[in-house]
Amino acid sequence: METPRHYASVIGRFLLSLIFIMSGMGKLFDWSGTAAYMQSEGMVAIPFFLTMAILFEVLGGLSILLGFKARWGALALIVFLIPTTLIFHDFWTYDDPQMRQLQMINFMKNLAIMGGLFLVFSLGPGSLSLDAQRGGAGGA
């Protein structure tokens, strides 16, 4: 019998994965706009890094959503978020108080998302996941 805790892990994975899947698809469908934004932030090798961002976000997001290799998906997204957060949400570099506040909020949001990803990494995706269906204890 499934308990509310089991359903909570599915809902949590769904909500956690949405930001990555939607962001990755947004980058894919607005390649030139995203590339221009990356260039404005001083990025180099933009085609490579943009392709990698899309792959990390979409594949990592789907991994979390489906609970398939979810621990690896969570770890990949943590690795993706560290430089992304430091490069694109560097609130300490802004002179304008409103922009500094906005970037600090985004920085802290990413830290909170990393917290959720660390939970998936440490606890697994739960019993209602592809990992668990394959016989993993709580999802490997």
**Domain boundary assignment for the chain:** 4-130
Q: Give the Cα separation of 97 and 100 in Å (integer).
A: 5
Residues in the chain: 140
Residue 139 has pLDDT above 70, yes or no: no
Q: What's this model's pTM, rounded to 2 decimal places?
A: 0.88
pLDDT in tens, 6-50: 789 999 999 999 999 999 999 999 999 999 999 999 999 999 999
pLDDT in tens, 3-12: 788 789 999 9
